[in-house]
C-alpha cells in the first residue's frame, strides 16, 4: 500500500522545520509499504490538490497530524481525501483531546475514518495492518492488554534513515541560489533544520500547556548512544551533500534531568557529534554554570526559554511560579558569555496583565543581552487546565476557536484589559522588537563580536520577524531586505573592507549589559 503522511500548513507563515511525527511513523511503518511525506509548509496544497494527488498516486491511506491551530485546515483536507474514496487516520495533540470532533460524534461532520490517541509509536503498525485489511477501527489508544495506558519507553528507539530519506522539500536555501551555491562549493548547497528528540514528558504542568497531559509526567529518555548516532548520521548527510544541518531538540525541557543532560552532552562532545542545535530549557535549570558550559561545547547555539511573563503574580496564576523573573538577566548573561543566543518567549493577556504590559516587558528586555524575543497571547488549548478554568468561569468568548482559527487572536477575555487591548500589546511587542531600527540596534549591540556572529543575529531577527508579520514569497522578502538595507549594507561592507573603525571600539565596550536593545 502507498501511504501519504500529510502535515497541514499553519496558514500564517512558512514553518522552518519539518515535523518529527512524519519521519517517526515512516520509520515505524511495517515493511512492504511505501510512505510519502508532504508538509504543507514546504509544498502548499489545497483540497482539490490533495484529492487529485491521492487519486493520481494511488494512495491507499492518508495519515494527517495537526496541532490545534492547523486543525481546521486538517479537517478540510481530510474531507477532500475521504471524498476521493481514500481513508484518513488523524493523530496528534488536538484530536487526542477532541476525538469526537474528528469522528463526527459531536453532531458535526465526520472528518476521519480513525483517530490515533496520544503517542502512536505502538499503534501505528496496527493501524496500517487494519487499513490494508479494510478493518480500520474508530479509535486507537495506546493501551496494554489490561486497558492500562502504555507509553513508549524510547529504548530502543527506531532508527530514522536520515542518510537516505528524501529531504528535498525541507531545504531552507532558496531554489534559485541552491544550484549555484552547490556548484561553487560554499558548503551551503543545503541548509536544513531537523527535529530530533532525546526524551519525552515534562512534570511541571503549566496551566496553558498540553504536554504534561499528553506525554505524562513520567519522563522517558533515549539512550545517549542512540541520540549520538542520530547526530552523526545527520552530520554525515550534510557533509555528503555539501550542505549544513542544524538540529532542533524538540524535548519540552531538554535539561529536565540535569545529570542525564550533562552526560548526553559529554557523549556528544566525545563522539565529535556536534552540530549547531537549538533546545527548549526552562530558566530555572540554566542556573547551572557547568550545564551551560557543556551546552556551548556540544554545539548548543540557540536556547528557547519560556519566560512567559515578568510578573510573578501572572506566573503563579498559570502554575509557572518556578520561573523567577529576578534571575532572567543572569541566565541570559550566562548564555551570551558563551555565544549562545536566547529565544525568549512571552505570553500577554494573562489575568494580571494591564495595558502597557508590552512596554514594561520591553523595558526589562532592553537591560538584557539582545536575544530573539517572541510574543504570543494566552490561548486556552483543549484539554488543558486553563481551558477548563476559563470554561467553568464562563470566560471563553470563542470556545471552539480552532474551527475559526485566527492567528494572534484571543479566545477569552483577560481580567484587567479588553481583548483589543491585549491584541494591541502583542502588536506593540513585535513592532518595537523587529522594526528596522530595533534590528539595527540588536546587531550593533554585538559590534565587539565577530562578523559571522552578527550576521547570524541579523538573519535570525529577519526570520523571526516572520512569525508575526506574514513574510511569505519572494516579494515579502524583497521588502524586508529593502527595509533593513542599511544594516545589511553595513555588514556587507565590513565583510569586504574589514572592520575599520569598528575594531577601535572593541576595548571600549564592556561585556554585554551595555548592549541591550531587543526592544526598540
The residues binding ligand SF4 (CB under 6 A) are 202, 204-206, 209, 211-212, 252-253, 282, 306
Task: Find the shortest distance in angstroms from Cβ 155 to ligand B12.
Answer: 15
Rg of the chain on CA atoms, in Å: 23
Phi, psi of 34 (to 5 degrees): -105, 130
Least spacing, CB of residue 154 vs ligand B12, in Å: 10
* Partner whose footprint covers residue 121, from ligand SF4, ligand B12, none (CB < 5 to 8 Å by kind): ligand B12
Count H helices, E strands: the chain? 21, 14
Give which of ligand SF4, ligand B12, none residue 438 binds (C-beta under 5 to 8 Å, depending on kind). Answer: none
**Binds 204: which of ligand SF4, ligand B12, none (CB < 5-8 Å by kind):** ligand SF4
Distance CA 425, CA 420 (A): 9
Contacted by 282, from ligand SF4, ligand B12, none: CB < 5 to 8 Å by type:
ligand SF4
Task: In angstroms, give the least distance from the CB of 381 to ligand SF4.
Answer: 11
Residue 471 and residue 459 in contact, taking contact as beta carbons nearer than 8 Å: no
* Minimum CB distance to ligand B12 smaller for 101 or for 454: 101
Q: Can you read off the three cell numbers belonging to residue 70?
A: 492547523
CB of residue 414 vs ligand SF4: minimum separation in angstroms?
19
User: Considering the complex, what minimum distance in angstroms separates the CB of residue 15 from ligand B12?
Assistant: 5
d(CA 11, CA 9): 6
Nearer to ligand B12, 254 or 446 (CB): 254
How far does CA 39 lie from the centroid of its chain?
14
Residue 23, C-beta contacts closer than 8 angstroms, at least 6 positions apart: 37, 160, 165, 195
Question: How far is 293 from 335, CA to CA, in rounded Å?
Answer: 9
Please give the Cα distance from 16 to 42 (Å, whole number).
Answer: 9
Instruction: State the binding partner of 116 from ligand B12, ligand SF4, none, CB within 5 to 8 A by kind.
Output: ligand B12
CB of 280 to ligand SF4, least distance (A): 7
Taking phi first (over 0 means left), then psi (-120 to 50 degrees means alpha), and beta for anything else, what does residue 487 get? Answer: alpha
68 Cβ contact partners less than 8 Å away, ≥ 6 residues apart: 93, 94, 381, 382, 402
- Do residues 294 and 322 make contact, with C-beta atoms less than 8 angstroms apart? no
d(CA 62, CA 59): 7
The whole-angstrom separation of Cα 81 and Cα 84 is: 5
Residue 212 or 460: which CB sits closer to ligand SF4? 212
CB 412 within 8 A of CB 241: no
> Which lies closer to ligand B12 via its Cβ, residue 198 or residue 487?
198
Binding-site partner at residue 199 among ligand SF4, ligand B12, none, CB < 5 to 8 Å by type: none
Q: How far is the CB of 466 from ligand SF4 (least distance, A)?
A: 23
54 binds, among ligand SF4, ligand B12, none (CB under 5 to 8 A by kind): none
Check: CB of residue 163 under 8 Å from CB of residue 194: no
State the binding partner of 250 from ligand SF4, ligand B12, none, CB within 5 to 8 A by kind.
Answer: ligand B12
Measured from the CB atom, the residue of 205 and 242 that comes closer to ligand SF4 is: 205
Nearer to ligand SF4, 254 or 430 (CB): 254
Cell 529593502 -> residue: 482
Positions in the binding site for ligand B12 (CB under 6 A): 10, 15, 17-21, 24, 63-65, 67-69, 89-94, 116, 119-121, 124, 195, 197, 209-211, 250, 252, 376, 381
Closest residue to ligand B12 using C-beta atoms: 91
Q: How far is the CB of 428 from ligand SF4 (least distance, A)?
A: 24
Amino acid at each position: 500500500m502507498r501511504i501519504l503522511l500529510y502535515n497541514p500548513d499553519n496558514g500564517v507563515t512558512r514553518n522552518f522545520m519539518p515535523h518529527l511525527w512524519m519521519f517517526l511513523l515512516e520509520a515505524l511503518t511495517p515493511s512492504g509499504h511505501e510512505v510519502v511525506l508532504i508538509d504543507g509548509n514546504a509544498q502548499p496544497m489545497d483540497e482539490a490538490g490533495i484529492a487529485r494527488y491521492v487519486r493520481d498516486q494511488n494512495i491507499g491511506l492518508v495519515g494527517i497530524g495537526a496541532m490545534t491551530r492547523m486543525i481546521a485546515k486538517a479537517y478540510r483536507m481530510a474531507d477532500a481525501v475521504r471524498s476521493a474514496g481514500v481513508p484518513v487516520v488523524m493523530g496528534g495533540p488536538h484530536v487526542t483531546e477532541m476525538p469526537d470532533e474528528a469522528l463526527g460524534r459531536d453532531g458535526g461532520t465526520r472528518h476521519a475514518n480513525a483517530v490515533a490517541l496520544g503517542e502512536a509509536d505502538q499503534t501505528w503498525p496496527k493501524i496500517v495492518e487494519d487499513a490494508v485489511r479494510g478493518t480500520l477501527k474508530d479509535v486507537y489508544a495506546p493501551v496494554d492488554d489490561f486497558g492500562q495506558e502504555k507509553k513508549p519507553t524510547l529504548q530502543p528507539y527506531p532508527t530514522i534513515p536520515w542518510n537516505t530519506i528524501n529531504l528535498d522539500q525541507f531545504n531552507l536555501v532558496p531554489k534559485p541560489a541552491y544550484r549555484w551555491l552547490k556548484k561553487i562549493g560554499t558548503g551551503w548547497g543545503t541548509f536544513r533544520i531537523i527535529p530530533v528528540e532525546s526524551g519525552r514528558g515534562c512534570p511541571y504542568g503549566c496551566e496553558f500547556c498540553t504536554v504534561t497531559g499528553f506525554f505524562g509526567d513520567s519522563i522517558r529518555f533515549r539512550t545517549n548512544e542512540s541520540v549520538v548516532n542520530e547526530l552523526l548520521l545527520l552530520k554525515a548527510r550534510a557533509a555528503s551533500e555539501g550542505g549544513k544541518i542544524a538540529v532542533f531538540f524538540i524535548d519540552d525541557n531538554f535539561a529536565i534531568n540535569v545529570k542525564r543532560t550533562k552526560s548526553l552532552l559529554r557523549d556528544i562532545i566525545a563522539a565529535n557529534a556536534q552540530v549547531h542545535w537549538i533546545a527548549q530549557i526552562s530558566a530555572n535549570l540554566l542556573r547551572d554554570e557547568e550545564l551551560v558550559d557543556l551546552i556551548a561545547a556540544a554545539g548548543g547555539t540557540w536556547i528557547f526559554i519560556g519566560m512567559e511573563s515578568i510578573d510573578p503574580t501572572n506566573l503563579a496564576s498559570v502554575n509557572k511560579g518556578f520561573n523567577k523573573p529576578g534571575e532572567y538577566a543572569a541566565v541570559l548573561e550566562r548564555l551570551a558569555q558563551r555565544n549562545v543566543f536566547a529565544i525568549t518567549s512571552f505570553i500577554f493577556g494573562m489575568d494580571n496583565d494591564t495595558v502597557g504590559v508590552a512596554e514594561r516587558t520591553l523595558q526589562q528586555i532592553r537591560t538584557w543581552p539582545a536575544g530573539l524575543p517572541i510574543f504570543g497571547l494566552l490561548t486556552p488549548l483543549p484539554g488543558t487546565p486553563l481551558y477548563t478554568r476559563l470554561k467553568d468561569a464562563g470566560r471563553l468568548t470563542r470556545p471552539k476557536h480552532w474551527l475559526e482559527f485566527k492567528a494572534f487572536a484571543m479566545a477569552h477575555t483577560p481580567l484587567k484589559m479588553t481583548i483589543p487591548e491585549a491584541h494591541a500589546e502583542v502588536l506593540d511587542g513585535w513592532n518595537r522588537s523587529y522594526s528596522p531600527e530595533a534590528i539595527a540596534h540588536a546587531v550593533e549591540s554585538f559590534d565587539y563580536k565577530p562578523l559571522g556572529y552578527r550576521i547570524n543575529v541579523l538573519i535570525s531577527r529577519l526570520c523571526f520577524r516572520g512569525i508575526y508579520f506574514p513574510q511569505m514569497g519572494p516579494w515579502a522578502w524583497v521588502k524586508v531586505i529593502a527595509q533593513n538595507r542599511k544594516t545589511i549594507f553595513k555588514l556587507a561592507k565590513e565583510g569586504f573592507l574589514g572592520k575599520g573603525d569598528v575594531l577601535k571600539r572593541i576595548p571600549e565596550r564592556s561585556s554585554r549589559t551595555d548592549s541591550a536593545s531587543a526592544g526598540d
